[in-house]
Amino acid sequence: MTSSNYFNEYKGRSILITGGLGFIGSNLAHRLIQIGDVEVTIIDGLLPGQGGNRFNIHNIEDRVRLLIADINSDYVVNHLVGGVDYIFNLASSVSHLDSMLYPHQDLQSNCAAQLTLLEACRHSNPQVKIIYTSTRQVYGRPVYLPLDERHPLSPPDINGINKLTAEYYHLLYHRVYGIRTACLRLTNTYGPRQLLHHNRQGFIPWFIRQAIDGEAIELFGEGKQRRDMNFVDDVVDALLLAGASKDAEGEIFNLGGSEIISVSEFAQKLISLTERGQVHNIPFPPENQPIDIGNVYSSYQKIESMLGWQPQTSIHKGLSDTINFYQKNRAHYWK
């Protein structure tokens, strides 16, 4: 299936995006509005320290229904899920570091809230299709590379454990109750509308900010860890393809990048694109070292062969567009 024919699947449909004021959810909302003839509802709790940002939808706000609420409320989600055709379930605490500092908060957002949503669907809308965004962090330190979906699971932190649990919930509700669910395990994702006001959501957005500011980009160790990454538009494509495909139901798919790049090469690329900044090597902070997983990148062969997805955007093009976006909209992301 190509993007031109998945568009038709969404026309005239009602779609709920949980976490839709966040980075990936808001980019998805923009794409759906572009498709047209789609009823989009966003629920987002604007949880402190997360990527929720009202500016992310400022130019489509009159075309989406917005509810500021936590999905961990039976009352709220029971009213919301009835009559919806698709749920893109992106509401989540995403910081691996924060999950180690505040484990109960991560548990609430990534497990309890997910069960609340699934229970509401079981009672009020078992016909709905749900796409859940998980993370490749569920694999932990790689035994082999690239990571495929058969790689052993050994999450290195609380967030990875809770995301894996939520995957199992989604797949269980498919097997036992027939709710059409699918899980995507995302790799590092970057692009416009990402949180940039602290450095606890991964190195990519923070490096982008430091490079734009012309500051020293701090590399932990020598920055030799090799990573893949996806531009957010490609991730939105994967979400919509999975939503539109019957073959995706009950399945887990990795996403991944086609270019593997070291953290240090990534920093150098940013410096050359912004023509600012420099690299500064510092020792690993004690809170990061134990949850760092070294070289890691994913195979996207399964989603490519089953759904026809592959990333389209080069790192060079994706980063140029991203830098351009933040240079124009700096005031809304530099808080």
Ligand X SMILES: NC(=O)c1ccc[n+]([C@@H]2O[C@H](COP(=O)([O-])OP(=O)(O)OC[C@H]3O[C@@H](n4cnc5c(N)ncnc54)[C@H](O)[C@@H]3O)[C@@H](O)[C@H]2O)c1
Q: Note the residues at the interface with ligand X (CB under 6 A).
A: 18-19, 21-25, 43-47, 50-52, 70-72, 90-94, 109, 113, 133, 135, 186, 188-189, 195, 202
Closest to ligand X by CB, 51 vs 156, is: 51
Closest to ligand X by CB, 58 vs 280, is: 58
Minimum distance between the CB of residue 135 and ligand X, rounded to whole angstroms? 4
Minimum distance between the CB of residue 43 and ligand X, rounded to whole angstroms? 6
The secondary structure of the chain in percent helix, strand, coil, rounded to multiples of 5, reads 45, 15, 35
Closest to ligand X by CB, 202 vs 277, is: 202
The secondary structure of residue 144, as a DSSP letter, is: S
Closest to ligand X by CB, 16 vs 278, is: 16
Minimum distance between the CB of residue 84 and ligand X, rounded to whole angstroms? 15
Question: Are the beta carbons of 21 and 44 closer than 8 angstroms?
Answer: yes
Minimum distance between the CB of residue 243 and ligand X, rounded to whole angstroms? 15
Minimum distance between the CB of residue 66 and ligand X, rounded to whole angstroms? 12
Closest to ligand X by CB, 19 vs 223, is: 19
Neighbour tally for 321: CB within 10 Å? 15
Encode 258-276: b = buried (16+ Cβ within 10 Å), e = exposed.
eebbbbbbbbbbbbebbee
End-to-end CA gap in the chain? 41
* Distances, alpha carbon 175 to alpha carbons 137, 261, 264, 300, 306, in Å: 24, 38, 44, 24, 20
Written as six digits, the tokens of 150 are 């058969």
The label of the residue with tokens 């912004």 reads 274
Distance CA 273, CA 74 (A): 47
Closest to ligand X by CB, 18 vs 322, is: 18
Minimum distance between the CB of residue 76 and ligand X, rounded to whole angstroms? 9
Closest to ligand X by CB, 70 vs 85, is: 70
Distance CA 68, CA 299 (A): 36
DSSP codes, 221-290: TT---EE--EEHHHHHHHHHHHHH-GGGTT-EEE---S--EEHHHHHHHHHHHHT--EEEEEPPPTTTGG
Minimum distance between the CB of residue 4 and ligand X, rounded to whole angstroms? 25
